[in-house]
Structure formats: structure tokens, C-alpha cells
Amino acid sequence: MLKNQNIEITPELIASHGLNEEEYAKILELIGREPTYTELGIFSAMWNEHCSYKSSKKWLKTLPTTGDRVIHGPGENAGVVDIDDGQAVVFKMESHNHPSYIEPYQGAATGVGGILRDVFTMGARPIAAMNALRFGAPDHEKTRHLVSGVVAGVGGYGNSFGVPTVGGEVEFDPRYNGNILVNAFAAGLADADKIFLCAAKGVGLPIVYLGAKTGRDGVGGATMASAEFGDDIDEKRPTVQVGDPFTEKCLLEACLELMQTGAVISIQDMGAAGLTCSAVEMGAQGNLGVELYLDDVPTREEAMTAYEMMLSESQERMLMVLDPEKEDVAKAIFHKWDLDFAIVGKTTDDLRFRVIHEGTEVANLPIKDLGDEAPEYDRPRAAYPAPSALGEIDSNIDVAQALLTLVGNANGASRRWVWEQYDHLIQGNSVQVPGGDAGVVRVEGADGKKALAFSVDVTPRYCEANPREGGKQAVAECWRNLSAVGALPLASTDNLNFGNPEKPEIMEQFSQAILGIGDACRALEFPIVSGNVSLYNETNGIGILPTPAIGGVGLLKDWAKMMTLSFKEEGEVILLIGEKGTHLGQSALLRDCFNRIEGDAPTVDLDKEAKHGALIRELINQEQLTACHDLSDGGLVVALAEMAMKGKIGAQLELSNDLGELFGEDQARYIVTVKSDNLESVLAAAKAQNVPVTQLGTVGGDKLEAKDIFAVSVAELSDFHESWFPDYMAAEAAQ
């Protein structure tokens, strides 16, 4: 018997659940009666933007998601990609933006915890993590506190869990003042034939609850993450979950141990919308009904209601359909790790989602409709404004001073202060640590040579000026970073952070960026295998810069051939692969040295990207190069400076004084160094493939020096580059 728990379903209550009139009418039509309070909560959890992708689905469908190596694309907890030898890499990126702004340490920590759980739910041991962080202006009153809390939270969780954090991005811009972005990426390693999925199989089988107990934390979190912020933001703190990496580490070991016994039929982690989302997905994907007995759910607080249990986002919990014959084995493993293990339900054949609490049926819903009938919107779009015109740029600048500004300001300075707080060495496989173009991790269980490369990239100011080119550029830069270390880019994951999709201009920006991402992923054979959408990143009507972060994975057959970006030896020849720079629109030079944000984003020629990248990988594979670095923010001169600082050795260069050539951010370009013996063969290879190449100078000395244009000591560059972050954060203590 359904009981309405004595709570009247009023229009106000419906609205507070983030459901509009039309959506509520659909609920009435689907179930033919008024929902109970718990049912209303369940619909709200399933139909909010975060879980249903109702505004984005139409556009996400346009992305390429298949390929020769793709084992599982979007729709599972994470994407699964073949890396040869019977092994697979399992990866995904997900945002935890809203919670991290409200409570930076726990918000970021549980973001990391959630993405790690997505990966090991599929049977993969996590081997690498990254994160893409975006904060407001450095001088905004909240920024320091948020940086400090988020970085500590990311580290606090990942370090304790024991996954190396091998890469990431940190960027500052006033447009993130009221909405920071915390995007966490994780990748794991699994046997390609032992991937675990969420679809339940078999009628009448026990559904088991594993992990930590359920509390009231995070009740309504996914609904909170699907709305704009207003000034009442501090009242939202109780919707942020609290993380416990110790329990998660135990859960990882227990799950992997249990999976080896063959007891697991299907498994789903409890992430956004907790028990509701995981139970519904298990049943719906397996074409089965589910019955849950909430009295058997382990709770850590007294007198929890059905509504609270169904919507709690307590962390470190899993749901599993278990082979009943192996129940004792499973129980023993979980008790060994001191984790809760409780049978809380069973699969049924009636396609209903039933929830029973204290002898009362508090929900009885059509399980397939909860997902399949979720609203899907083709939200209105409006013409997007053309990029502003690029005005005159005074070419008479002090190039050395501009370079020091670019490598020593908030967005150009070294991120060492950040990544030294992340354990990037644990597991003993990190062959390239943060600070290079991509993080590289050796793969265990193979020949000892195989390695995976990871990079996460996006240039939000390009996306704002020109969403389509910006979308392409995010993919291209990630793909280029993988190529620059010598890895074959395999596949990618996207984390699409945008403003309010109900504004037609934002919707147009969003759709164009996705189309751009799709263009690039198709051209570069870099399919999107997983991802996440975060909309409503607005506070008091001010939206963030559009930030579609792309996380990519590449494969190296032999990590000993891997390339790094540092200059190595005196006398080596420096070459630019790709065309000379010209494009100053939306450049770092313009923003940071002229305080101007104008012009179009650079155009991404995907044919050239593919061709130049292929040449780079071929040269690296033939061991013809001694260093390689992709060109991005700040263009040629900044890339050269980064190579010099990393190698602690200078260079003598022949450059023109054209600002476009020095600082232009044209795409599809790399700087490489070669031993003079290999120069002819490298030039010949470039010529044979019709790739432009320019000789820039030679490595040596303690200065980065271009005759008649600029000279600056490598030590001074490093001093500027390394000091900004620690100095900025030290001012926190002084405040």
C-alpha cells in the first residue's frame, strides 16, 4: 500500500525539487496518480539536469563515440579502451564545481573520490589521476581560500587513496569569481575481458549494499548542482558530501578481491542521487524491476526517512547484484575490510521500482520510465555574437619584459606549488611527472615497456570568442600534448562546463562547442568514450567562460623512447615544426601584456594537426629528437622559455621581431630539438611529408637570446616562473 508520508505535494514543494509544471504533468501522466513525497524526490533526482542530461542529450548524441579500440563508450560508469595485450584503460572525467565552491576541501575531495569509484566499479585499478581547476581572479577575496582548500582536498583524497596525480590545469579568470570549476579525471587498468557493468541480470537475485553507511549528507546534492547560485549560497553547505578516502581504499581492495571470485553479476557505484540513481540504472539497463528494503540499509544517523535514504549522497557506497551461491565468500571479504555488507533488495521481473520502509511501500514506479521518459529539451538558441575585432597592436614592446610577464603571472607561472601537494610518484610507474606536456605512467602486467600518457586541456577564452573553433582547439591541444611525448592518442573524455542553458546565447555556445569537439575528434580519430556535463555555472546572472575540458589518453609502446620538453645538450639544433606564428587574437600576450581581450580564436586546421602530429610521433619513435614541446599559450617564445627553464640551459636564436611570430598562438605547432647529426634526416622527413619546418637556433649558454631582439637569463626566467604561486599563496598567511 502506498502511503503519502503525510506530506502534501504542493506546487511550492514541486518547484523546490527543481521540477517545472510541464515535468510534473508528465509525472502524473506516467504514474496516473499523485506521487508520494519519496517518489517526488526520486523523480527530482532522476530528472535533474545533472542526472538526465535533459538540455545536453540532443547535442551529445552528435559526438563520435566509437572506434577500433573502444570497448565501452558513454553510458557506463567510464569509457573502456583497448590498449593491446588483453589490457584496457578505463577512464572518465567529472565535475564537482558547485560543491567545491561551497566547501572547497570536501567538494574537491569527493569529486576525486567519485571519479575513482566510477573507474574501479568497472573492475579497473586506478593508475592515474588528473584535475582541471579554474578559479576567479587572484585578487578576488575568495580565491586564495578556494585554491588552498581545493588543492588540499584533491591531494587529501588522492594521496590517501594511493593514485598518482600526473597532470592537470590551473587557471585564473574573473569569470570564475562566483563559480569555480573542479574537474577530476581518473584512469584505471583492467583486463579487457573482465570489465564489470551495471546492468542487472537474473530475476530474484539479491541486491547487496556495500561500503560506508548512509547519512544525511548530500541529500539533494544533484538538484543543487542543477541550479544557478544566488546569495543564499552559504545555506547550501549541508548538501555537500563528506569524503573518507580510507573507506574508499578499503572498498577498492574489497571490490577487486570480490570481482576475482566471480561473485559479482553487476555493480554500480552510488554517486549523484545515491541509492535512487544506482538502483534504477541497474534495473532499467538490465530490463528488470528492483525492490528495495530500506530497513536493511546501513545508516549512520537515527530515524532517517525513506526520502533521505533514497536521496543521500553519502560517499564510498556501492550496489551489487550478487551470485547467491557466493554470498558467504562476498560477506567474508567485506568483513575482512571492515565494510558494511547488507542485502537490501532483489531483482524482479515486473519492471517496477519498489521501495519499502517500515512495512510501507513508499514508492512504486515504472523503472524504465524514470530514465527513458526523462525530459529531453531542444532548448532555444540565439545567434552568437561574432568575435570582437582585433585592434592595432603596438609592436614596439620590450620582448624580454613581455616574456617575463607571461611566464611569471597568475596564468603562466609554474604550477609546482599545486602538484607537489599531490602524490605523483606512488605506484612507482610515473615516468613523466607534472610539468611536462603530458603525464606518463608505465603499465604493469605487460612487457614493462608499455606506458600510457594523459593530458587535460581547454582554452576557455578561445571558446568564448568562437565556440566552434574553441571546441576544436581543446581537442587538438590535448591530442597534441599526447603526441608531443610520443604517445599515439587513443580516445578522450569531455567535461563540459557552461552557464545557464535556458539562455539562448549560452545554448548556442554550448552546441557550437560540442560540434567543434565532434569535428576534431572525428578528424583526429580521438573518440569521446565518457564524459560529464555541468550547466548552470552562473552566480547572480554572471556565467563562467565556456570550459569544455578534454581529457585524453595515449599509448606508448616503449616509455624509454618517450620525449620530454627540456633542452638537453649544448649544440643541439632547435626546430619549429609547423607554420610561423601570426595569430594574436585572444592571445596570452594581448591579455597579459596589453590588458586586452579581443579578436577571434586561432583557427584549427585539423588536416594539418593530424599531419604534423603524425610526423612528430614518427620522429620520436625513430629516436631522432631530443626534446619536444607543443606550442600553446604565449606561442613560440614562451615555449622556448619553458624548454630552457626545464633543462636549466639557454639557447641562441635567430628570430624576427614580428609579434605574431614571437607570441602568436597558431595551432598545429611544436618545437623540437635534434642532435646536429640527425638534422638532415629530420628536415628530409618533414619535407617528404610536406610539413613546414624552420631552424630557430641552437641550445647552449645560460641565456635565452635572440640576436637584436631580446636576451634574458634562464635563472631570471625560472625565478619569475617559480615564485608567483608560492608568493601568492604565502600572502594568505599574512592576511
Rounded CA separation 439/254 (Å): 28
| Least distance CB 435 / another protein (angstroms) | 11
For residues 354 and 290, the answer to whether their CB atoms sit within 8 Å is: yes
Which of 37, 101, 120, 161 is the binder for another protein (CB under 8 A)? 161
* 714-734 and 143-161 helices, crossing angle to 10°: 100
| Least distance CB 488 / another protein (angstroms) | 20
Rounded CA separation 293/286 (Å): 20
| Least distance CB 153 / another protein (angstroms) | 11
Question: 706 forms bridges with which residues in the sheet?
Answer: 653, 710
What is the identity of the amino acid at 377?
Y
Which of 35, 155, 168, 188 is the binder for another protein (CB under 8 A)? 155
Give the angle 479-437-481 at the CA atoms, nearest 5°.
10
Q: Which is nearer to another protein, 114 or 613 (CB)?
A: 114
| Least distance CB 724 / another protein (angstroms) | 17
User: Does 382 participate in binding another protein (rule CB under 8 A)?
Assistant: no
Rounded CA separation 118/622 (Å): 37
Catalytic residue among 96, 583, 629, 721: 96
Q: Which of residues 525-584 bind another protein (CB under 8 A)?
A: 559-560
Which of 77, 121, 160, 347 is the binder for another protein (CB under 8 A)? 160
For residues 118 and 111, the answer to whether their CB atoms sit within 8 Å is: no
Q: Which of residues 441-470 bind another protein (CB under 8 A)?
A: 442
For residues 131 and 176, the answer to whether their CB atoms sit within 8 Å is: no
For residues 489 and 554, the answer to whether their CB atoms sit within 8 Å is: yes
| HEC letters along 250-289 | HHHHHHHHHHHCCCEEEEEECCCCHHHHHHHHHHHHCCCE
User: Does 162 participate in binding another protein (rule CB under 8 A)?
Assistant: yes
Catalytic residue among 17, 50, 72, 98: 50
Nearest to 529 by CA among 73, 53, 57: 73
Question: Which stretch, 26-34, 166-174, 206-214, 244-252, contacts another protein (CB under 8 A)?
Answer: 244-252
Q: Which of residues 328-347 bind another protein (CB under 8 A)?
A: 336-338
Question: Which stretch, 148-156, 179-187, 593-601, 633-641, contacts another protein (CB under 8 A)?
Answer: 148-156
User: Does 156 participate in binding another protein (rule CB under 8 A)?
Assistant: yes
Which of 20, 61, 246, 731 is the binder for another protein (CB under 8 A)? 246
C-alpha count within 13 angstroms, C-beta hemisphere, residue 206: 19
Residue 170 three-state SS? strand
| Least distance CB 25 / another protein (angstroms) | 48
| Least distance CB 159 / another protein (angstroms) | 6
Residue tagged 570550459 (cell numbers): 547
Torsions phi, psi for 642 (to 5 deg): -65, -40
b vs e for 623-661, b when ≥16 Cβ sit within 10 Å of the residue's Cβ? ebbbbbbbbbbbbbbbbbbbbbbbbebbbbbebeeebbb
User: Does 427 participate in binding another protein (rule CB under 8 A)?
Assistant: yes
Q: Is 50 noted as a catalytic residue in this protein?
A: yes
Which of 51, 311, 431, 549 is the binder for another protein (CB under 8 A)? 431
| Least distance CB 164 / another protein (angstroms) | 9
**Binding flags for another protein, 294-333, as an x/- string (CB under 8 A):** ----------------------------------------
Question: Which stretch, 197-205, 246-254, 307-315, 688-696, contacts another protein (CB under 8 A)?
Answer: 246-254
Q: What are 15's three cell numbers? A: 518547484
Q: Is 629 noted as a catalytic residue in this protein?
A: no
Question: Which stretch, 247-255, 386-394, 657-665, 699-707, contacts another protein (CB under 8 A)?
Answer: 247-255
Residues at the interface with another protein (CB under 8 A) = 152, 155-156, 159-162, 244-247, 249-250, 253, 336-338, 419-429, 431, 442, 559-560
Task: Show which residues are catalytic.
Answer: 50, 96
